[in-house]
């Protein structure tokens, strides 16, 4: 097969850190906050602005608090788990590697005995089996499996437990029903393409009440502590961060939020991700060697995972399939057509293409002939 001539203008399709917004350059980060303390008046103002713009773009209700926390989405999820769990029974849902990480945290680190509802990559557990009397920990969109929950009807309005939702590859690309979610976490390195290492922790009224009325049995590391003098430290949710943030990263996040506002906000961001997925669906529909790992309606519109269905590859042992994918993705990277699109290391052998809002649909359309080319070139060697 002849090598295509048109390359994606932006060949970065990594699922985290994700592509920067269209038109981004380092000049966008020029700000008087750089080199200033995050506790200075200007530093606090910019952190507060990041929180306020988050609320506006993500359409977070006034009843929920938004805080900037350390250690990316992982830090935000673990802060929630370590502060909130232990008051009542727990159910953990897992259909990919990060959901399994939260199971491991609950069992090995917090010494809880959660009910675990698990599904293989590409599938989702029976959500009707979730006990509404339990605290529930789950990912809205499984970044490493390309699987998302189809809706929130399975979460009761009369639930007794809390819902703790890792939404890191869903926020800004999918609808999040705030009335059903007591805790939401994400990292701005995902759909908005911000720089990594900072997490967002959003607490609803029921989570706030739990923090104020409950003290876990286990000790909390300093960067996990949400309380001050026995009550929720609300300063965290005004930009008074637990530890020193990167003001450069904060400026980058604000720049991404301003870009989102210029497009029209959340609806425009979701539409961009949906259009990217549709472009891939169109290609898969006419291509014989590949298919999606997940079926509709649980298919992600951000971390889109693909499997090779051509029998020459599918019949190989898993290790040889992984080697085939590695050679294929190296060929694409060497051609500067696509970077970082191999599936997650713990996932089944395949491709993972980020389709979040910072990716242009024209680049997805330009990518697909290169995928055909790379596959054909490697398949000839089998």
- Average pLDDT of every residue of the chain: 97
Angle at 27 between CA 26 and CA 28, to 5 degrees: 85
Nearest to 136 by CA among 120, 159, 153, 157: 159
d(CA 231, CA 361): 47
Both 318 and 247 in one domain: the answer is no
Helix (H) or strand (E) holding 228: strand 227-228
User: Considering the entire predicted model, what is its pTM?
Assistant: 0.97
Residue 60 binned pLDDT confidence (cut-offs 50, 70, 90):
very high
pLDDT digits (tens, 9 = 90+) for 32-54: 999 999 999 999 999 999 999 99
Say what the pLDDT of residue 108 is: 97
Say what the pLDDT of residue 15 is: 98
Helix (H, G, I), strand (E, B) or coil at 312: helix
33: left (phi over 0), alpha (psi -120 to 50) or beta: alpha
d(CA 330, CA 374): 9
SS3 content of the chain, % helix, strand, coil (to 5): 40, 15, 45
Say what the pLDDT of residue 212 is: 98
Both 241 and 201 in one domain: the answer is yes
Both 84 and 123 in one domain: the answer is yes
- Give the Cβ contact number of residue 109 at 10 Å: 12
Q: Mean pLDDT, to the nearest integer, of 126-144?
A: 98
Both 113 and 32 in one domain: the answer is yes
For residue 224, what are the domain limits?
26-262
Q: Establish if 160 belongs to a structural domain.
A: yes
Both 164 and 129 in one domain: the answer is yes
- Determine how β-strand 163-166 pairs with β-strand 183-187: parallel
344 DSSP 8-state letter: P
Residue 109 binned pLDDT confidence (cut-offs 50, 70, 90):
very high
Q: Classify residue 35 as exposed, middle or buried by CB count within 10 Å of its CB (0-12, 13-18, 19+).
A: exposed
Nearest to 302 by CA among 162, 160, 167: 167
- Determine how β-strand 115-118 pairs with β-strand 90-94: parallel
d(CA 34, CA 53): 19
Number of H helices, E strands in the chain: 9, 14
pLDDT digits (tens, 9 = 90+) for 153-184: 999 999 999 999 999 999 999 999 999 999 99
* Spacing of C-alpha 74 from chain mean position: 10
Last residue of a domain, which of 262, 296, 311? 262
Contact 361, 268 (CB under 8 A): no
What is the 3-state secondary structure of 94-120? Answer: ECCHHHHHHHHHHHHHCCCCCEEEECC
The tally of domains found in the chain comes to: 2
Say what the pLDDT of residue 313 is: 97
Both 231 and 249 in one domain: the answer is yes
41: left (phi over 0), alpha (psi -120 to 50) or beta: alpha
Q: Establish if 339 belongs to a structural domain.
A: yes
pLDDT digits (tens, 9 = 90+) for 203-213: 999 999 999 99
Both 227 and 343 in one domain: the answer is no
């Amino acid at each position: 097969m002849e090598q295509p001539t048109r390359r994606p203008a932006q060949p970065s399709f990594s699922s985290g850190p994700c592509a920067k917004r269209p038109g981004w350059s380092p000049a966008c980060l020029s700000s008087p906050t750089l080199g200033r303390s995050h506790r200075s008046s200007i530093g606090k103002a910019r952190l507060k602005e990041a929180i306020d713009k988050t609320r506006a773009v993500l359409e977070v209700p006034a009843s929920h608090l938004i805080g900037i926390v350390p250690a990316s989405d992982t830090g935000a999820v673990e802060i929630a788990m370590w502060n909130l769990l232990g008051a009542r029974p727990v159910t953990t849902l897992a259909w990919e590697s990060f959901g399994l990480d939260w199971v491991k945290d609950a069992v090995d680190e917090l010494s809880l005995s959660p009910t675990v509802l698990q599904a293989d990559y590409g599938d989702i557990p029976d959500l009707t089996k979730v006990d509404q009397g339990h605290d529930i920990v789950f990912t809205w969109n499984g970044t490493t499996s390309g699987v998302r929950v189809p809706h929130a009807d399975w979460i009761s309005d009369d639930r007794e437990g809390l819902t703790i939702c890792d939404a890191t590859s869903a926020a800004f690309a999918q609808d999040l029903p705030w009335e059903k979610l007591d805790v939401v976490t994400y990292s701005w390195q995902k759909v908005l393409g911000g720089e990594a290492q900072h997490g967002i922790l959003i607490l609803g009224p029921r989570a706030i009440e739990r923090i104020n009325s409950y003290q876990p049995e286990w000790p909390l590391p300093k960067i996990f502590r949400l309380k001050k003098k026995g009550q929720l430290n609300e300063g965290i949710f005004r930009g008074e961060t637990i530890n020193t943030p990167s003001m450069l990263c904060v400026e980058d996040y604000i720049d991404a939020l301003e870009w989102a506002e210029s497009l029209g906000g959340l609806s425009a961001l979701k539409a961009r991700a949906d259009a990217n997925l549709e472009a891939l669906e169109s290609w898969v529909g006419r291509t014989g060697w590949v298919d999606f790992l997940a079926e509709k309606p649980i298919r992600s519109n951000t971390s889109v995972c693909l499997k090779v269905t051509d029998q020459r590859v599918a019949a190989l042992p898993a290790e040889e399939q992984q080697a085939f994918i590695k050679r294929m993705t190296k060929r694409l990277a060497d051609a500067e057509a696509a970077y970082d699109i191999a599936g997650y290391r713990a996932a089944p052998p395949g491709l993972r293409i980020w389709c979040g809002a910072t990716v242009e649909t024209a680049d997805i359309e330009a990518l697909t002939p290169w995928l055909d080319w790379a596959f054909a070139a490697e398949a000839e060697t089998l």
